[in-house]
Structure 1
Amino acid sequence: MFIGKLPYFAFHSTVTSAAVVGLDTEIKKRVKGNKEWMSSRCFVFDGTLNHETFLNGSVGILFADPESEIGEILKKEAGPTGLSPNPIWTPELIATCYEIQTANPEKYSEILNRSFPFNRLEPAQKIEDNEHIIYVLRKLIKNPKESLKIEELALEIGMPASWLQHEFKNALGFPLSTFHKWFQIKNAVIAIKEGRSFTDAALNAGFYDQTEFTNEFRDIFGIPPSVVFQKGESIRWYIQHEEIEKILNAQ
């Protein structure tokens, strides 16, 4: 969850489902290949959608981890086109963002757990019965610094690399390499918000250097991390423990 002021998101694909809401005014969004801009107070979109966004004023952005319950709710709301404006819960999301803006950080979890979509989670597509995928996910999430070696992972679970990639994408909806990059970026963002430098955060998350982290961040979010995490900016943020991490920690 991100609440703050951002200017513009260039064309990007966020990997997983998300919702963005304008707290002061409407948001403009354009899907790649379309000339016309769409205007709405709130948009829900699928992570595979390549789009750009023009923002004016404060916004609230809810990103969902891959394969999470929240992600499934947002993906369904985005619909067959991968983009849906003004869902019926827009006022509820706006109210939640305003409440977080004036609350102490220790209250964020309580506020979100009684707000959309945390207060209406439904069972998402489960992966706990797939031992191969669980093993790979645990390796990726718990060892973010390690470079991705698909051939070695495939050997460890006794299946061809091509089959592992096929089974992973079939289970989660996107390539193994994309999932790995998402959690590397998430780890770097957490480190930055804890006060570590961009370079230190990037290296500890498994990136080669700060430049690689910046490029990957821009590809996913359409904006460099330096703009999001400017010193002195009043940005509210919160990371919820999501379904996929609950599954892994229970194993």
Structure 2
Amino acid sequence: MFIGRLPYLSFHSTVTSATVVGLDTEIKKRVKGNKQWMSSRCFVFDGTLSHETILDGSVGILFADPGSEIGEILTKEAGPEKLSANPTWAPELIATCFEIQTSNPDLYPEILNRSFPFNRLTPVKKIQDNDRIINVIRKLIEKPEETINVVELANEIGMSESWLQHEFKNVVGLPIRAFRKWFRIKSAVIAIKDGASLADAALSAGFYDQAHFTNAFREIFGISPSSVFQKGKSIRWYIQNEQIEKILRTP
């Protein structure tokens, strides 16, 4: 989650579903291929949608983990057009963002865990009921720095490569490589939260170097990691690690 004054967000696809709220004024958003701008206080969008955003004032942006209940909620809210505006819970999310802006970072987990939609961060049932997909997810999350061979993964769990690709996307909502990319970036951000530099965080998550991490981050979020995480930036941010622990539970 990012809260604060962010720069213009160039065309990007977030991989996973997300929502953005304007804290001071409405947001302008345009879908790739359309010339017309849309304005709204809150947008919800599917991760496959390529779009750009003009932000005038402070905003809050929430990204859902693939396979989480909140991810399912946001995807359904985005609808068949993959983009919708002003959900009924937008005022609650806006109030949560304002509370975070004036609170000590140590209180962020408490604030978010009692607020929609963070209070619904649990794996969806179709993941909980699929041990073979959980084993694949475990490998992707526990060792983000390792190169993944999908054929070997499929052989390990007794599936064909094509069926694993199909079943993984059906259960999790993302292709395997997109899921791996998301959690590599998340692993790097967790390292930054723990005090690592951008360069060290990038290497620990399996990126070739800081530039590789920066390019991957910009592709998903539309901005560079330095614009969010460098010291002196006024952006409040928080990353929830609980979802990983829930997915990695012992079956």
TM-score (norm 1): 0.93
Shift of residue 121 of structure 1? 7.0
Shift of residue 123 of structure 1? 7.9
CA distance in 2, matches of 1:69, 1:176: 19
Deviations 1:65-123 (A, max 9, x none): 00101111111111111111111222211111111111112211111122111346798
Shift of residue 31 of structure 1? 0.5
Give the 3 Å change call, closer, same or farther, for CA 192–120 of structure 1 in structure 2.
closer
Deviates more, 1:62-71 or 1:129-138: 129-138
Match of 2:133?
A: 133
CA distance in 1, matches of 2:135, 2:163: 15
Match of 2:88?
A: 88
Matches within 5 A, 1:159-178: 159-178=159-178
CA distance in 1, matches of 2:6, 2:218: 14
Match of 2:124?
A: 124
For the pair 1:7 / 2:7, whether they are aligned, the reply is yes
Match of 1:200?
A: 200
CA contact (8 A) 2:227 2:233 kept: no
Shift of residue 247 of structure 1? 3.4
Please state whether the residue corresponding to 2:34 is helix, strand or coil: coil
Match of 1:32?
A: 32
Please state whether the residue corresponding to 2:127 is helix, strand or coil: coil
Please state whether the residue corresponding to 1:29 is helix, strand or coil: strand
Shift of residue 52 of structure 1? 0.7
RMSD (Å) for aligned C-alpha atoms: 1.8
Shift of residue 244 of structure 1? 5.9
Match of 2:61?
A: 61
Please state whether the residue corresponding to 2:133 is helix, strand or coil: helix
Match of 2:240?
A: 240
For the pair 1:72 / 2:72, whether they are aligned, the reply is yes
TM-score (norm 2): 0.93
Shift of residue 14 of structure 1? 0.6
Q: Identity of aligned pairs, percent?
A: 74
CA distance in 1, matches of 2:87, 2:128: 31
CA distance in 1, matches of 2:105, 2:135: 34
Deviates more, 1:39-48 or 1:188-197: 188-197
Please state whether the residue corresponding to 2:128 is helix, strand or coil: coil
Please state whether the residue corresponding to 1:103 is helix, strand or coil: coil
Deviates more, 1:2-11 or 1:123-132: 123-132
CA distance in 1, matches of 2:213, 2:121: 32
CA contact (8 A) 2:2 2:238 kept: yes
CA contact (8 A) 1:69 1:242 kept: no
Give the 3 Å change call, closer, same or farther, for CA 75–199 of structure 1 in structure 2.
same
Alignment gaps of 5+ in structure 2: none
User: What amino acid is the match of 2:213?
Assistant: F
CA distance in 2, matches of 1:52, 1:5: 16
Shift of residue 48 of structure 1? 1.0
What is the number of residues matched between the two proteins?
Answer: 251
Shift of residue 125 of structure 1? 4.3
For the pair 1:100 / 2:100, whether they are aligned, the reply is yes
Deviates more, 1:185-194 or 1:22-31: 185-194
CA distance in 2, matches of 1:250, 1:41: 41
CA distance in 1, matches of 2:200, 2:96: 33
Give the 3 Å change call, closer, same or farther, for CA 104–240 of structure 1 in structure 2.
same
CA contact (8 A) 1:67 1:125 kept: no
CA distance in 1, matches of 2:228, 2:37: 24
Deviations 1:187-209 (A, max 9, x none): 11122233322211111001111
